[in-house]
Amino acid sequence: MVTLNDIATRLGISKSTVSKGLNNASDVSEELRRRILETAAEMGYVGVRPQKKFCIFVENMGYTDPNQFGYDIIAGFKEMAGSDGWMVDVVPLTKEYQSTITYQEAIAQGSWRGAFLLGFSLLDPWMEELRTTQVPTVLYDNYIKENPRIASVRCDNSGGLEAAVRHLYDLGHRRIALLCGPLDSYVVRERYNAYCAAMEKCGLPVDEDLIGLEYYVAESARKYLPRFIENGATAILCADDARAIAVYTECRDRCLRIPADVSIVGFDDLPMAAYMNPPLTTIRQDRTALGKCGYYTLSCLINDVAIDTIQLRAPLIVRGSTGPVPQQEGAEPSEEEASL
Amino acid sequence: MVTLNDIATRLGISKSTVSKGLNNASDVSEELRRRILETAAEMGYVGVRPQKKFCIFVENMGYTDPNQFGYDIIAGFKEMAGSDGWMVDVVPLTKEYQSTITYQEAIAQGSWRGAFLLGFSLLDPWMEELRTTQVPTVLYDNYIKENPRIASVRCDNSGGLEAAVRHLYDLGHRRIALLCGPLDSYVVRERYNAYCAAMEKCGLPVDEDLIGLEYYVAESARKYLPRFIENGATAILCADDARAIAVYTECRDRCLRIPADVSIVGFDDLPMAAYMNPPLTTIRQDRTALGKCGYYTLSCLINDVAIDTIQLRAPLIVRGSTGPVPQQEGAEPSEEEASL
């Protein structure tokens, strides 16, 4: 076990300076503090008296309001961790910060024993380091295959989207659009692939004109809703509820009735989904359970139980935003319908 | 909540007779007991004072000796359950018994709140009922997609087999055989498919002459080892350690040296694997962790947290039973080798 003395000897400074550097004391220069942190990380220093303290890093995700996706995840994690005597720090994160410090240095600086990472994208600077890190780390909806110190907690995206496409298909929809973020996030890629697979299972072609990939939520609805409608879409799958809300707004502005003119499906089942007008049909992610499983997984990892993945069910919650496909005026009944 | 009185009223008998029937009293006829059990099951009766009691059903799997696969799984489950105040009954199971009683009746009879099922095959009579059962149930290495009351606990078969095939490939092996049980078990199918996928990833053809599917362990080694060797196999992947042991025996009887003449890889990492001669290279399943995760998952299900799957890592443990591919006498070096 590496001690403060070992680090002090390596750097040729006093033990108390090492301690000050690790604890962010103001009388240690930024440059020296950095060298101390780097050396401590390199030597595998894990702290004098390891505290029972975990970190939740959050990026690209709101978590301060109950209607934001991260809120219940963090609450679930904290509830379980608290009852086991763990402290939990929640740290919002940016790409910029990740460029200034390595993951291991950040962990050492916070004296955390492990971390739960929410909302990371595949382009994040720390992603490469995570492939080999020794820090027990749980990812929400991300997956790193090679490293047994990393585990994933996720929902069954594929099962959820398959149920949603099947539900729309059974209502007569054949032109089903997908609105989601860009493919630089693992979870968006998964949902995108799950949508394509589900369409194929129903014998429906995947049509590029019915797919919209765009980071900004309101903009994505504004840009793609008209395109989808022009291209014959009668139903829109949104890869998150926030996007579904934006689509509702655009529909209202264009006098499109939900579900008489267009059916909408969300993903997440945020608390407000049931109170929207009409109430939103959506795929539920049990966020409190995700948080609890995140804690369970992290506590397994620090006890050398190499969980790879915990996957939760993602059931479709059918509400008022989906209905039968609208009858096109003057449209010939298809052969299939005519034979009924 | 259905009570004993409700069942008594429905059947037109006394409450005490219902109680006797549910508790297997000898003064209730077999026919009446059956009617009481069926009615209780149909009405969704879950016991008077629900006890904290789970059941582990075991089939096709030894569990009484530390070198049998089920031993540590059950120990892990019991350890976690016990510390939460749960009793655990372990019940060996046969197909014949499953034909005499439904799953729900068996659960009601034992007053269990849920069950962990080990070693089930796809042909088991209860498998169909599991698709719709309301009994919280965790399956080891089996998967039922539709039912949110069912969850799975498993190892990463695919990752483990990929690492094994890659390891043999890196040692120069190109003719890699697979010895496993018949494809009527979910886990065997998974390993079979994982083997095929891993071979393809390495650019190796999947050759039917190098695949042996056979239920009986000793017989499978006796039958297939000579065929594999005749067909040029230089390495054999066994889908469980028990089969690897049988292959060791056959190799000794035929004066084949391990690994000089043939490399052997197992699956499970049973305690004895490290003590075999030579020590067995194998894919580890952390059975204690599987049992602990089984308990965790079951306790989630009874609290309506719909875990779908917990997957553990399955790392390759390299020991002495694998080595470089033997040089064939008089063989021309391949183009690849010649160019080195």
Residue B289 to chain A, least CA–CA distance (Å): 6
> Which among B289, B307, B315 has CB closest to A310?
B307
pTM: 0.77
Residue A221, chain B, CB below 8 Å: the answer is no
Long-range contacts of A59-64 (CB under 8 A, 24+ apart): A59/A92, A59/A93, A59/A94, A59/A95, A59/A117, A59/A118, A59/A119, A59/A120, A59/A121, A59/A124, A60/A119, A60/A120, A60/A121, A60/A185, A61/A118, A61/A119, A63/A90, A63/A118
Mutate to test the interface with B, among A293, A295, A308 (most CBs of B within 10 A): A308
- Chain B residues closer than 8 Å to A72 by CB: none
For residues B57 and B94, give the distance between their C-alpha atoms in angstroms, rounded to a whole number.
10
Residue A163 neighbours by CB under 8 Å, 6+ apart: A283, A315, A316
Q: Tell me what pLDDT residue A106 has.
A: 95
Q: Is A310 touching B (CB cutoff 8 A)?
A: yes
Please check whether residue A309 touches B, CB under 8 A. yes
Both tokens of residue B54? 């789970």
Residue of B nearest to A288 (CA): B305
Q: Which of A156, A309, A312 sits opposite B311 (nearest CB)?
A: A309
Distance from CA of B214 to the nearest CA of A (A): 30
Classified as helix, coil or strand, B238 is: strand
Residue B335 neighbours by CB under 8 Å, 6+ apart: none
Residue-wise pLDDT for A145-161, tens only, equals: 889 999 999 999 999 99
Confirm or reject contact between A201 and chain B (CB < 8 A): no
Among A156, A306, A307, the residue with its CB nearest the CB of B308 is A156
> Is the Cβ pair A307, B292 closer than 8 Å?
no
Contact A88, A122 (CB under 8 A): no
Could you say which residues from 1 to 60 on chain B have a Cβ atom under 8 Å away from some Cβ of chain A?
A: none
Q: Which residue of B has its CA nearest to A291?
A: B305
For A163, phi and psi rounded to 5 degrees?
-65, -40
- pLDDT at B122 (0 to 100): 86
Q: Which residue has the higher pLDDT, B246 or B340?
A: B246
Q: Which two tokens stand for residue B330?
A: 């008089």
Q: Is the confidence at residue B338, as pLDDT, over 50?
A: no
Beta strands in B156-196 (DSSP E): 176-180
The number of C-beta contacts closer than 8 angstroms across A and B is 62
Read off the tokens for B52: 């904290």
Q: List all residues of chain B from 157 to 186 with a beta carbon under 8 Å from chain A.
A: 159
pLDDT in tens, A189-222: 999 999 999 999 999 999 999 999 999 999 999 9
pLDDT of residue B339: 46
Q: What residues of B are in contact with residue A306 (Cβ under 8 Å)? A: 286, 289, 312-313, 315
Work out the number of other CB atoms within 10 angstroms of the CB of residue B115. Answer: 23
Give A97-147 pLDDT, tens digit per residue: 999 999 999 999 999 999 999 998 888 999 999 999 999 999 998 888 889
Tell me, yes or no, if B290 comes closer than 8 A to chain A by beta carbon. Answer: no
Q: Comparing A246-260, B37-51, B213-227, which segment has the lowest mean pLDDT?
A: B37-51
Cα A275 to Cα A319: distance, rounded to the nearest angstrom: 10
Torsional class of B273: left (φ above 0), alpha (ψ -120 to 50), beta (otherwise) = alpha
In tens, the pLDDT along A271-322 reads 999 999 999 999 999 999 999 999 999 999 998 899 999 999 999 999 999 9
Burial class from Cβ neighbours inside 10 Å (0-12, 13-18, 19+) for residue A2 reads middle
Confidence of residue B340 (pLDDT cuts 50, 70, 90): very low
Residues A230, A239: Cα–Cα separation, whole Å: 21
Q: Which residues of chain B make contact with A310, given a CB cutoff of 8 A?
A: 307, 309-311
